[in-house]
Amino acid sequence: MTETKAVTDWKRVLLKLSGEALMGELDYGIDVATVDRFATDIGEAMKSGKELAVVVGGGNIYRGMAGAAAGMDRANGDYMGMLATVMNALALHNALERQDIPARVLSSIPMPSVCEPFIRQKAIRHLSKGRVVIFAAGTGNPFFTTDTGAALRAIEMQCDGLAKATQVDGIYSADPRTNPDAERYDTLTYGEVLAKDLQVMDGAAIALARDNDLPVMIFSLREEGSITRVLNGELKNTLVHGDRK
């Protein structure tokens, strides 16, 4: 097992954003000002020498599991959710390009009139040329979450780590927004996350990260500039990595 790098030493990073994060204070859809703020923050991280790939969820528009719970075929619902992530990826791409930050959208579901198809070597080349690479449409397969897609793409891109943005500053034993007695963890092993059923990411994503020694860092996106600050070691976070010695 390789030694885990400090977050400040990560050069190539996969950033996972939830679709809900793009809503800002809205109840549904995409808040342009919020997306612009994320684009600014990503640009600042790039200026500090980071290479950034991004996976955005689609929950602000549609969730396949919600559709399945209402009686829709699960596979169909998941494909609809994948298309929602393409919409979010295009919104983020637009915000980045308007700030003169070079970016590309690569989709697991081919749609050449809208964005590039996902080709691993092409994505790596974009990253090496200083472009933000936004991965859309998850893995391209139903029954997999965008968390699993993020872990998969991070491994394929040979990222130093996966940074997942949430509404809280790390992993807790329970939701700290509803349980003030929830315990916060600074570090955890993959096995501890699975054994404690902490559900910060789905089990398939954590298992994939574990099997490929991919560190996963959980941080809060609520503060302006949080992406740059957490990668510079200036914000609290929880790091999930290999077994303790």
- CATH assignment at residue 105: 3.40.1160.10
pLDDT of amino acid 192: 96
2 inside domain: no
Give the number of domains in the chain. Answer: 1
1 inside domain: no
- Which ranges of the chain does DSSP label H, i.e. alpha helix? 32-47, 64-69, 74-98, 120-128, 146-156, 190-195, 203-211, 226-231
CB 18 within 8 A of CB 150: no
CB 162 within 8 A of CB 106: no
How many Å apart are CA 82 and CA 64, to the nearest integer? 9
pLDDT of amino acid 67: 77
pLDDT of amino acid 65: 75
163 inside domain: yes
pLDDT of amino acid 245: 44
Q: Which domain holds residue 143?
A: 7-241
Question: From first to last of its 245 residues, what are the pLDDT tens digits of the chain?
Answer: 456 789 999 999 999 999 999 999 999 999 999 999 999 999 999 999 999 999 999 999 988 777 777 888 999 999 999 999 999 999 999 999 999 999 999 999 999 999 999 999 999 999 999 999 999 999 999 999 999 999 999 999 999 999 999 999 999 999 898 999 999 999 999 999 999 999 889 999 999 999 999 999 999 998 889 999 999 999 999 999 986 54
How many Å apart are CA 163 and CA 231, to the nearest integer? 9
pLDDT of amino acid 217: 98
Which helix or strand (DSSP H or E) is residue 107 part of?
Answer: strand 103-107
